[in-house]
Amino acid sequence: MKGVSIAVNEEKCKRDGLCAKVCPMRIFTHSKESYPNIRNPEHCVICGQCLAVCPHGAIEHSTLSGEGLAKISDLHPVSAEAMMAVVRQRRSVRVYKDKEVPREVIEEIARCCGYCPTGAHGGEGWVRNVTVVTGRENLRRVLDYTVEYMKRMKKLLEGVMVKVVSRWSLEARGGLSTLPDLTLRLEEYEQGRDAILYHAPALLFVHAPKDTPTPQADCDAALYAMMLLAHAKGLGTCWMGWVQNAAAGFKIRSFRGLKGFLRVPEHHNVYSAMTLGYPALELHSVPFRETRVTWLSDESSSA
């Protein structure tokens, strides 16, 4: 990153080489006989690992400061059992109470994105972007835009071209598989029922620059982290595929209304979206979900 300067305070440094071990860009080089050398600081991705691992505060970074570090007092604040319970019990919520979520709670949930993994490696994509929509009128406009998009998508999927292409295209076949769901939700809408936003009091959209290496994975990781934190706070969420597609203009490039309404920068794309609110119903059990695990190990190779 241009303009970054990094230095080692030799009075504090103990020459343990920890900074060299954790730096993903190999900016620090180290030998026991000398203090760490620094090369190509412009390649720094602002991950902060060098500051976080040094117990002596010897790293001086022009962009990151030691004052901004949150000290770790407990390396394992949540037991493995409790964490597994949160993951297992988080379910999609489609029935919400008519109750607003406090702004400060939504803000806290949104800001957890900054601690999620990303492939952005510095630059603009290093900063997570979350757009929050609340208020009945704003949510109604999102719903209207999404319905308009869904109607255009239904027309596209019912066309002759998609049916012909689906004979050899798995992507087209996958698109056709969504047609029953799409039709159901539009029919519900015409009958005055909201099976799209589920009358949720808040919507969160995650967007990122199109030119970052892994924008979809970055936004999905951020969204899932928000879902887990929301569940821990007694809130419910639901991953919103149709709303996200509408915001991104997926497969319909001329559809730009919702993206414009959300004020998403032109060079960004919306990759994930979710509803947020207080669940109106309480679940008493967790349905089984199968996971197929395939091992490639020395033992399996020799068997």
Boundary residue ending a domain (16, 44, 68): 68
Q: Is residue 35 domain-shared with residue 179, that is, in the same domain?
A: no
Residue 97 lies in a domain: yes
CATH of the domain at 225: 3.40.109.10
Q: Which domain holds residue 175?
A: 84-277
Token pair 């076949």 in the structure block, residue = 173
CA angle 276–150–91, rounded 5-degree value: 30
For residue 159, how far is the Cα from the chain centroid?
A: 33
Q: Is residue 29 domain-shared with residue 94, that is, in the same domain?
A: no
Q: Is residue 182 domain-shared with residue 227, that is, in the same domain?
A: yes
Q: Is residue 142 domain-shared with residue 49, that is, in the same domain?
A: no
Q: Is residue 44 domain-shared with residue 101, that is, in the same domain?
A: no
Residue 298 lies in a domain: no
pTM for this prediction: 0.91
- Among residues 188, 193, 191, 175, which one has the least CA distance to residue 245? 175
41 near 63, Cβ under 8 Å?
no
Q: Is residue 101 domain-shared with residue 198, that is, in the same domain?
A: yes
In angstroms, the CA 169 to CA 166 distance is 5
- Residuewise pLDDT in 10s, the chain (303 residues): 667 899 999 999 999 999 999 999 999 988 877 889 999 998 998 889 999 999 999 999 988 877 778 888 888 999 999 999 999 999 999 999 999 999 999 999 999 999 999 988 878 888 999 999 999 999 999 999 999 999 999 999 999 999 999 999 999 999 999 999 999 999 999 999 999 999 999 999 999 999 999 999 999 999 999 999 999 999 999 999 999 999 999 999 899 999 999 999 999 999 999 999 999 999 999 999 999 999 998 876 665
Q: Is residue 89 domain-shared with residue 63, that is, in the same domain?
A: no
Residue 293 lies in a domain: no
Q: Is residue 184 domain-shared with residue 45, that is, in the same domain?
A: no
Residue 74 lies in a domain: no
Residue 55 lies in a domain: yes
Residue 206 lies in a domain: yes
**Per-residue pLDDT, 302:** 60
**Domain count for the chain:** 2
- Among residues 144, 143, 162, which one has the least CA distance to residue 153? 162
Q: Is residue 155 domain-shared with residue 226, that is, in the same domain?
A: yes
**Per-residue pLDDT, 122:** 78
**Per-residue pLDDT, 300:** 65
Q: Is residue 52 domain-shared with residue 166, that is, in the same domain?
A: no
- Give the number of other Cβ atoms within 10 Å of residue 257's Cβ: 17
**Per-residue pLDDT, 70:** 85
**Per-residue pLDDT, 228:** 97
CATH of the domain at 58: 3.30.70.20
196 near 203, Cβ under 8 Å?
no
Residue 11 lies in a domain: yes
Q: Is residue 202 domain-shared with residue 241, that is, in the same domain?
A: yes
Bridge partners, 38 (sequence order): 28
**Per-residue pLDDT, 56:** 92
Q: Is residue 61 domain-shared with residue 160, that is, in the same domain?
A: no
Residue 170 lies in a domain: yes
